[in-house]
Amino acid sequence: MKTPEEDIGSIYSEDEALVLGPWQRIRQRFLSPIAFVLSRLGISPDMLSFASVGFGIGFCVLAPFQFTIAFWLLVASIICDGLDGVEARLKKTNTERGAFTDMFCDQMVVAFSVAGMAWIGKIHPVLAILFVYVYTALVTFLVMHRKLRVTSHWLIRPSRMVLYAAIALYFFFNIDLLNYLLFTYLLAFPMLFLSFWRLRKAL
């Protein structure tokens, strides 16, 4: 039986898989019709992944000038991100290459989203840098955990979807919790050191 880390296209830790695994199956069920239409139109999962980055860059660039347009570009980015994996699994083309592409694009969107909010003064620059570092490092380490077959128990990434929800909360209700959220996310630092220690022992 495969562990969560051995599934193609998954970088979930063992604990993340308990929650995100079922959510992925629910998303697959409800978004498959849309993914099927996109597939018939010749839009590949990789195209959706790269489009999500393009929309993320658009958010970052436009946030200081036209935040409303920027926000809806971010929404489009999240939608593309939600559909690329669904289409890949639907077409049974979820490969290591596709998973790597999706992972890279996800990190780019996170970085550009945080940069855009920092640019308009809603996230402290130091918090922005630390969060992007911790999040990217944890994702990279989880890939290494899977490749080296090292346990990822107790490793949980800060949720980028909660970050996007906080941006939406600011957009719709002018409630700014972003600095508080990212400060809380810095509690992931001990997990980063735990992951480093486990990987170092395995090398």
Domain 11-202, CATH: 1.20.120.1760
The tokens for 125 are: 């620059």
Share of the chain above pLDDT 90, in %: 81
Has residue 147 got a pLDDT over 80? yes
Coil, helix or strand for 13?
Answer: coil
Has residue 4 got a pLDDT over 70? no
Instruction: Tell me the average pLDDT across 83-98.
Output: 87
Please name the residue ranges forming H helices in the chain: 14-40, 45-62, 67-90, 96-119, 125-148, 160-173, 178-185, 189-202
Give the total residue count for the chain.
203
Entry pTM: 0.91
Instruction: Tell me the average pLDDT across 37-46.
Output: 95
**CB-based contact 160:185 (threshold 8 Å):** no
Rounded distance, CA 59 to CA 71, Å? 6
Q: For residue 20, name the pLDDT band (cuts at 50, 70, 90).
A: confident
Q: For residue 9, name the pLDDT band (cuts at 50, 70, 90).
A: low
10 Å CB burial of residue 193 (0-12, 13-18, 19+) is exposed
| pLDDT for position 188 | 94
Amino acid found at 186: L
Look-up of token digits 């790269």: 50
Of these ranges, 6-10, 60-64, 86-90, 147-151, the one predicted with the greatest mean pLDDT is 60-64
**CB-based contact 109:56 (threshold 8 Å):** yes
